[in-house]
Amino acid sequence: MTRALALLLLAAALAAPQEHSYTQADIEHGARLYQSSCAGCHGPNGDMVPGIELHRGQFRRATNDTEIMRIIQSGIPGTTMPPSSFSDAQAGAIVAYLRTAAPASGPGREGVSVARGDAAKGKSLYDGKGQCGSCHRVNGEGPRLAPDLSDVGTVRPASELRQKLVDPDALVRPGNRFVDAVTKSGAKISGRLLNHDTFTVQLLDSNERLVSLSKSDLKEFTFVKSSPMPSYRDKLSAGELDDVVAYLVSLKGFRP
Amino acid sequence: MTLGRRVARGFGGVARGSGPAILALLATVAAQAQQVTFDRILHADREPQNWLTYSGSLFSHRHSLLTQITPSNVKNLELQWVFQTRGPAEPVEKFEATPLVVDGVMYTVLAPNHVVALDAATGRMFWMYSPRLSPLARVCCGRINRGLAILGDTLFMGTIDGHLIAIDAKVGRPVWDVALSKPELGYSLTVAPLVIKDKVLVGPAGGEYGIRGFIAAFDAKTGKEVWRFNTVPGPGEVGHETWPPNSDAWEHGGGSIWVTGSYDPDLNLVYFGTGNPGPDWNADPRPGDNLYTDSVVALNADTGQLKWHYQFTPHDEFDYDSTQVPVLADIQWQGRPRKVMLWANRNGFWYALDRASGEFLRGKPFVRVNWAEGIDDKGMPKRVLNATPEGTLVYPNNQGATNWYSPSYSPRTGFFYIPTWMDTSSTYTKGPAEYKAGNQYTGRFPTMPVPPLRTGPGNVNTRTPQEGWGAIQAFDAKSGELRWQFKMSDVTDSGVLSTASDLVFAGGREGYFFALDARTGELLWKGNIGGQVSAGPMSYAVNGRQHVAIAAGSALFVYALRQ
């Protein structure tokens, strides 16, 4: 199978769940409607109602675009989802926006991002020159401390992945933050923050242990401002970065 | 005087340690015997074992006169009972109700509109009433309810589909049911009604759906509407000139009623805070101050006539509803006694007003504020920021410095206790807003690092302090000085309860419920109740024991001292 055919099949597979073709105008119109009518409950990134991640195509009750449109128009009786008076065109525009928006993308930003590189080459770079696997985990292989990338292609657009590779400090998401703690007895504990509240801290420490600490036992508790990830700006060529991004975009998780 | 009434008055002594067994027996009789007259509501301080209104008194202090639980013994608090609602509540169906307790019987509302009567001693249910709700109901911010009112033997509840229902408190059956408006237009009732004399006062939520708000009084016996005050004045009404001429903007101008008001019997004035103007985040369709949105209005309790108003945020673009409970306090103000109103507003300033005249007395920031440089001598904010098409970073964030969560005032300490969101910001990007009946009418939703609702499943908090944190703050009502603040890693949607034994109870999103020293803010006790606290604590006594109740997650937790 040629690479071109493989990409064609991949594209076809991605397009399969979508029954409509979306114009940029539809997407932008849908983004406006979404932000004014839906974001109040679903949140600007479509992930504020548990079990539903609109921007990732994760719906509780809908399996295709027509069903999503019907729910937008009719609501779901007995739940918090109200009916609306959106026309078919308006509901369709919202679906277009939802189907093309990646998490954290805002209205007006480009929707589907296209990875230009070669995913197979990107995997070689991930495993070899880039040494990405020395920190990250994909499909059960690799350490656990850095973000698991098994489904990063479904949750991050190519543009953000590329930016992360060259400027890791630009955006550290709340779930990927590292903290340093020093206990009153002098023990140092570092790791990825899983949760903290007024009295306690939960983290995955550098030895991959789940640790819960009492803040009253700590002398210091600080957020690590920079990302532990190195920049690949000078380590990889532009073409190599494209390849790594293409590989990352191809990672769709265990249940794509 | 009835037997029950004697019991009620005697109960204050129980808290100080006399004859609980006999009084428990009498309390059982009392529950069957006496009605809740308006005189009892007016003098709720005479029966601190009960909690007869949303805020515990018509002055809305959320202050309990019970003193059995003290700073020295609060460490011995023990969970007495938990009332689990039916199945896990949706996160947008937060448990926001404050229970009422009347002579040993607790009444509360499970989201969205299930009313229950419980034995306040054991949590066991007497009855449950679930009205059939219209599937057309549309609510901005959760299918929730903040509680009930009671008068005589009748409970009153607003519903998310815009009905006001009178319910027989003994058997849980409807007595009357009136529709205030069409639910498909976004009119919903989430407020706990306020009973004044023989009337029941409510107003609709729905400011995100282009409603036109109002406060209406209904005859408690019949459900007949007696008066109505439009929070957005129409043509010919005073204040209409603050809306654009030759425009229907006022018809969709918002001014919702989200929380219960207060009442001063000497002035015969009832006070309510009003919500944001519509559309929330694009003010282009509504040039002008947009009265009476984001205001407090003082109305004649018998007629609904406006006595005075004060607008906290004229021409709001940041959703700074004045959805706060008006706290009425009689304090020494610059050397003489004065009837004041204390108000910590969503816009980041806390105010003292003269509640007889509406005169502005003081306005000070209580969080980081950048949209205004202060409040001038006349009470007008010195505004420096507006929403822009490119986006404007504004402190405090869209949820505000505080919100609908009840503050508390202790006449003993003279402190005003505020649940606060610290150092929060939103980016407001002006987007299009077009009114279509039944659709949200807001402009573009602002972005912010702290979610407006904590939604699970997921971690409680991985944010840095720079992205926002929570606090209970105590301000001296007289001097305006900050006396202490209790810091929390996460923000809080909890109300605050103070007590006459100088305790303050509150909770937060983290799922803790805690007791602080009312004078110093020192943490004296905490319990981990798991779910987010999105309700105000309250206190009552039954069988001679003081209890403290708090809703969290989808359950109600009730504490008392270990025996």
CB contact under 8 A, A49 and B92: yes
What 3-state DSSP class applies to A40?
helix
Structure tokens at B163: 């009905």
Is residue B22 domain-shared with residue B110, that is, in the same domain? no
Banded pLDDT at A80 (limits 50, 70, 90): low
Q: What is the pLDDT of residue B508?
A: 94
By Cβ distance, the residue of B138, B432, B453 closest to A32 is B432
How do residues B231-250 score in pLDDT, each as one tens digit?
A: 999 999 999 999 999 999 99
Domain of B459 in residue numbering reads as 35-561
Segment B342-362 mean pLDDT = 98
Structure tokens at A32: 């406006």
Tell me which residue of B404, B419, B437 sits closest to B144, measured CA to CA.
Answer: B404
pLDDT at A16 over 50: no
Tell me whether the CATH fold assigned to A16-100 matches the one assigned to A119-172+229-249: yes
How far is residue B324's CA from residue B272's CA, in Å, rounded to a whole number? 8
pLDDT at A9 over 60: no
The domain tally of chain B equals: 2
CA distances (Å), origin B190, targets A2, A122, B264, B506? 62, 55, 23, 22
Structure tokens at B271: 């006070």
CB contact under 8 A, A80 and B490: no
Determine the residue type at A55.
Answer: H
Q: Considering only A51-65, A196-210, A225-239, B426-440, which range has the smallest mean pLDDT?
A: A51-65
Domain residue ranges in chain A: 16-100, 119-172+229-249, 174-223
Which residues of chain B lie closer than 8 angstroms to A79, CB-CB?
Answer: 90
Higher-pLDDT residue of B136 and B128 is B128
Is residue B1 domain-shared with residue B69, that is, in the same domain? no
Task: Compute the radius of gyration of chain A from its Cα atoms.
Answer: 21
pLDDT at B345 over 50: yes
Is residue B364 domain-shared with residue B432, that is, in the same domain? yes
Structure tokens at B137: 């109901």
What 3-state DSSP class applies to B414?
coil
Is residue B388 domain-shared with residue B474, that is, in the same domain? yes
Quote the DSSP letter at residue A137: B
Matching residue, tokens 């807003």: B433
B 440-459: CB under 8 A from A: 440-445, 447, 449, 451-453, 455-459
Is residue B10 domain-shared with residue B142, that is, in the same domain? no
Structure tokens at B218: 């209904």
Class of domain A174-223: mainly beta
Which residues of chain A lie closer than 8 angstroms to B86, CB-CB?
Answer: none
Phi-psi region of B157 (alpha: psi -120 to 50; beta: other; left: phi over 0): beta
Is residue B16 domain-shared with residue B78, that is, in the same domain? no
Residue B243 C-alpha, separation from nearest chain A C-alpha, in angstroms: 22
Which residues are within 8 A (CB) of A255 and not within 5 positions of it... i.e. 6 or more apart?
none
Query: How many Cα atoms sit within 13 Å of A44 on the Cβ side?
Result: 19
Q: What is the architecture of the domain spanning A119-172+229-249?
A: Orthogonal Bundle (1.10)
Which residues are within 8 A (CB) of B43 and not within 5 positions of it... i.e. 6 or more apart?
none
By Cβ distance, the residue of B90, B93, B512 closest to A198 is B512
Q: In chain B, which residue's Cα lies nearest the Cα of A203?
A: B462
Which residues are within 8 A (CB) of B246 and not within 5 positions of it... i.e. 6 or more apart?
none
pLDDT at B15 over 50: no
Is residue B450 domain-shared with residue B366, that is, in the same domain? yes
Q: What is the pLDDT of residue B248?
A: 96
CB contact under 8 A, B444 and A35: yes
pLDDT at B344 over 70: yes
Is residue B329 domain-shared with residue B252, that is, in the same domain? yes
Q: What is the pLDDT of residue A255?
A: 56
% of chain A beyond a pLDDT of 70: 80
Which residues of chain B lie closer than 8 angstroms to A83, CB-CB?
Answer: 135-136, 138, 184, 438
Is residue B22 domain-shared with residue B64, that is, in the same domain? no
Q: Tell me the backbone φ, ψ of residue A79, rounded to 5 degrees.
A: -125, -175
* Concatenated DSSP letters of A70-84: HHHHH--TTSS----
pLDDT at A107 over 50: no
CB contact under 8 A, B92 and A41: yes
Tell me which residue of B534, B557, B356 sits closest to B455, measured CA to CA.
Answer: B534
Chain A contact for B87 (CB, 8 A cutoff): no
CA angle, residues A204, B513, B552, in degrees to nearest 5: 90
B 113-152: CB under 8 A from A: 135-143
Determine the residue type at A75.
Answer: G
Higher-pLDDT residue of B13 and B202 is B202
Q: Which fold has domain A16-100?
A: Cytochrome Bc1 Complex; Chain D, domain 2 (1.10.760)
Q: What is the pLDDT of residue B223?
A: 98
Please check whether residue A134 is in contact with residue A57, taking contact to mean a CB–CB distance below 8 angstroms. no
Is residue B3 domain-shared with residue B145, that is, in the same domain? no
Segment B91-102 mean pLDDT = 86
Please check whether residue B536 is in contact with residue B497, taking contact to mean a CB–CB distance below 8 angstroms. yes
Please check whether residue B491 is in contact with residue B421, taking contact to mean a CB–CB distance below 8 angstroms. yes
Quote the DSSP letter at residue B429: B
Tell me which residue of B445, B451, B439, B491 sits closest to B469, measured CA to CA.
Answer: B491
How do residues A195-243 score in pLDDT, each as one tens digit?
A: 999 999 999 999 999 999 999 999 999 999 889 999 999 999 999 999 9
Segment A137-159 mean pLDDT = 88
Q: Across all residues in chain B, what is the average pLDDT?
A: 91
Is residue B225 domain-shared with residue B320, that is, in the same domain? yes
Matching residue, tokens 């292989």: A141
How do residues B508-555 score in pLDDT, each as one tens digit?
A: 999 999 999 999 999 999 999 988 899 999 999 999 999 999 999 889
Chain A contact for B391 (CB, 8 A cutoff): no
Q: What is the pLDDT of residue B459?
A: 64
Is residue B46 domain-shared with residue B6, that is, in the same domain? no
